[in-house]
Amino acid sequence: MNDVAGSELPREIAVLGAGIEIGASQRGTLMGPAALRTAGLLTLLESLGFAVEDHGDLSVAGVAELDDVPPDNCKHYREIQRWIRTLSARAYELAHSGVVPIFIGGDHSLSMGSVNGVARHCRETGRDLFVMWLDAHADYNTPATTITGNMHGMSGAFLCGEPGLDGLLGNEPRASVDSSRLELFGTRSIDKLEKELVRERRISVADMRHIDQFGVGILMRRAIDKVKASNGVLHLSFDVDFLDPDVAPGVGTTVPGGATYREAHLIMEMLHDSGIVRSVDIVELNPFLDVRGRTARAVVELIGSLFGQQITDRPTPTNAIDPDR
The answer to whether residue 108 is catalytic is: yes
Strands 182-187, 204-207: pairing kind:
parallel
CA torsion 48-292-263-219 (nearest 10°) is: -90
3-state secondary structure of 265: helix
The answer to whether residue 284 is catalytic is: yes
The answer to whether residue 241 is catalytic is: yes
- Pick the closest to residue 240 from 310, 307, 190, 290 (CA basis): 290
Question: DSSP secondary-structure letter at 8?
Answer: P
Which class for 142: exposed (0-12), middle (13-18), buried (19 or more C-beta within 10 A)?
buried
> Would you say 33 and 57 are in contact if contact means Cβ atoms under 8 Å apart?
yes
Active-site residue, selected from the candidate residues 21, 128, 135, 183:
135
Q: Which amino acid is at 72?
A: D
Active-site residue, selected from the candidate residues 172, 194, 241, 244:
241
Active-site residue, selected from the candidate residues 21, 107, 128, 139:
139
Q: Which amino acid is at 291?
A: V
Residues 166, 171: Cα–Cα separation, whole Å = 11
The answer to whether residue 194 is catalytic is: no
> Would you say 159 and 111 are in contact if contact means Cβ atoms under 8 Å apart?
yes
Active-site residue, selected from the candidate residues 137, 235, 265, 272:
137
Where does residue 214 fall: left (phi above 0), alpha (psi -120 to 50 degrees), or beta otherwise?
Answer: alpha
Active-site residue, selected from the candidate residues 76, 107, 108, 265:
108
Active-site residue, selected from the candidate residues 76, 152, 235, 265:
152
C-alpha triplet 198, 201, 204: angle, nearest 5°: 65
Residues 81, 83: Cα–Cα separation, whole Å = 5
The answer to whether residue 239 is catalytic is: yes
Q: How large is the angle between the packed helices 261-274 and 294-306, nearest 10 degrees?
A: 30
3-state secondary structure of 189: strand
The answer to whether residue 68 is catalytic is: no
Rounded alpha-carbon distances, angstroms, from residue 11 to 91, 119, 168 = 18, 21, 33
Which residues have a catalytic role annotated?
Answer: 108, 135, 137, 139, 152, 239, 241, 284
